[in-house]
Amino acid sequence: MEKRYRLRIGKRVVGYKREISSRMVFYSKNEFWWNGQAIHHQQIDESTGLFDKNHKMIYEWDIVRFSLDSNESSEEGVVLWHSKEKCFGIKPINSSTNFVPFEVEGLSLFSPADLEIFSYLFLNPDIMINLGLEDI
């Protein structure tokens, strides 16, 4: 199973990594052209495997606009890995909801049309503090 990662140095995205197998690893600066030359990085953000409405890959630490019901207005939240539940989901920023997983018992709660990336948590330390998250 392929895994994808976003590579960063601090607040700057420096590239992306694809692991197709333990022996097949590729890197890209733009997610378009891939090669085997490693890219220097300090932080790594894992892909959720999902795309937003603009067909952008969603990674942990992305800030997204989302809606559980397309008839309601969207909320804003941070994409996080929930270590206890062992799944990716969204922690709403301005809501009492604790955590909304992307999937429950194999059923997806979101379609790409319900999700839109608009920023990153590593660019918004105030949101990180308000949510009580550790420094990344």
3-state secondary structure 3-28: EEEEEEECCEEEEEEEECCCCCEEEE
Dihedrals phi, psi of 2, to nearest 5 degrees: -70, 140
pLDDT of residue 134: 62
Residue 12 lies in a domain: yes
Place of tokens 């559980």: 68
3-class SS of residue 70: coil
pLDDT digits (tens, 9 = 90+) for 63-97: 999 987 767 788 999 999 988 889 999 999 987 77
Residue 136 lies in a domain: no
Residue 78 lies in a domain: yes
Residue 135 lies in a domain: no
Give how many domains the chain has, as a whole number: 1
pLDDT of residue 136: 44
User: How many CB atoms neighbour CB 68 within 10 A?
Assistant: 13
Dihedrals phi, psi of 74, to nearest 5 degrees: -80, 155
Q: Provide the residue range defining the domain that includes 123.
A: 3-130
pLDDT of residue 20: 95
pLDDT of residue 69: 73
Query: DSSP E strands: which ranges in 2-114?
Result: 3-9, 12-19, 25-28, 43-51, 57-59, 62-66, 75-82, 87-92, 100-101, 103-104, 107-108
| Ranges under pLDDT 50 in the chain | 135-136
Residues 6 or more apart whose CB falls under 8 angstroms from that of 33 comprise none
Residue 23 lies in a domain: yes
Residues 6 or more apart whose CB falls under 8 angstroms from that of 14 comprise 7, 8, 29, 39, 40, 41
Helices (H), 12-135: 125-130
User: How many CB atoms neighbour CB 89 within 10 A?
Assistant: 21
